[in-house]
Amino acid sequence: MGFALPHQQAMFRLFFYFMTETKRQFFGTDGIRGRANEGPLTPGSVVRLGRAAAKVLIPDPGSKRTWPTVVIGKDTRQSGDMLESAIAAGLTSCGVDVRLAGVVPTPAIAMLTRETGAAFGIVISASHNPFADNGIKFFGPDGFKLDDTVELEIERCMLEDSGADPDSMIGRISTMEDAAERYIDFVRVGVEDAELLRGLHIALDAANGAAYQTSETILRSLGAKVTTFHNQPSGININEACGCTHAEVIEQIVRETGADVGISHDGDADRVLLCDESGSVLDGDEIMAIAAVAALESKTLAGDTLVATVMSNAGLDAAVEEAGGKVVRAGVGDRYVLELMKEHGYRLGGEQSGHFIFLDHNTTGDGIVSAVQLLRIMREKGQPLSELRKVMTKLPQAQRNVRVSSKPTVESMAVAGRIREIEEGHGSAGRVLIRYSGTEPLLRILVEGRDKEQIEGEADELAAAIGDEIGE
């Protein structure tokens, strides 16, 4: 089983320099994100964002006889109401009708936008971030996230905003009472066997977030016994010591409850991690390996290809190639995975972090859809996750996050030479990835190689050097 990856390193460098050279003031890799009531997430700024989105995505909306509609959903953060009201005000001031879906998972808004014929959809969420943060992301009428060029045009329009046109028509705001129920039905309809999960005991960590009701209802409706934790959102406890960024929590829950499977979401439930019956979490690469190999075996993997990102482990490539397929790499962020999938007609992709796109089922990362698809494979093969995960052997990885005060290009930093030395020392059996987070003031370091002790030391060394140079 080989691990030669020079093509991945080249792809990474191209992606890194593209992202650092593109001038983006507000949008990151997943919409606009930051601390609520600061920067671009103040009420005044968000009103302008609403107007800008209406002008870019619906040219001259107020002149139409049938007014366009926008669907808005949110997670459980207490700042969600404020931001929802602000962006709705901006939209209605441009003649757009707004339908409020309330607290629903991000993928529900992708589905509702598409199925209701809305002009676009908006999600107010900061995903896995702490409760004090929030964010705003958009879906086009087809249920896909917006292209970079469109987001940049919204930024430009937002910066040039001169206020509402007093002659514009004014839209109305209404509540979509059945939004959660429609999403639950949508997921269930996508499962051919209504008794798929009969007899299965599932432990669920809902992260006190947007899926605190929907995921349990879906799993129970498919026959599972569900023991749910962290499903009492208070507005400030979303992702707090729970959810898929705290993998140790679902591991402990599974061990204590004796569940057959553990499922853990993030705050907006577009991500998921699974835990096997022994209390050991599978990372996103293992989940993608199981899904891709099963699809190859059933000859249903489009183009015999899985789309992953530059962060994925080399073992994923080896597992898929051994089954007769291939892995292609996109930049970090589920939107870039999806762009590559759409461009080439691929239907399965995802990220190590837990975003998975089953394009036959939804147009964006969908945590509960992904979980159900893995449980389907588990049932069809008659094997627990602890056995299914053996399809992949991971190359050791060491990851570090450094909080930064600025984001200069890596090649301009003093540590750049040392990064090249480490990378060259691993040859074709390892790599170094350095990238900035698109949603937080973080620089992420990944070192991959055969020797676990060596790469841990190298990751610590790089983190310390970068922290000294640009750390907060």
Catalytic residues: 127
Distance of alpha carbon 296 from alpha carbon 250, whole angstroms: 30
Cβ neighbourhood burial of 280 (10 Å; 0-12, 13-18, 19+):
middle
If one counts every other C-beta atom within 10 angstroms of the C-beta of residue 293, the result is: 22
CB neighbour burial string for 141-165, b if at least 16 within 10 angstroms, e if fewer: bebbbbebebbbbbbebbeebeebe
Helix, strand, coil percentages, rounded to 5, for the chain: 40, 20, 35
Task: For the chain, give the number of residues.
Answer: 472
List the structure tokens of 72.
Answer: 């808005």
Virtual CA dihedral for 359, 365, 369, 372, nearest 10 degrees?
Answer: 100
Q: How far is CA 55 from the centre of its chain?
A: 27
List the structure tokens of 383.
Answer: 């094997």
Distance of alpha carbon 135 from alpha carbon 242, whole angstroms: 20
3-state secondary structure of 181: helix
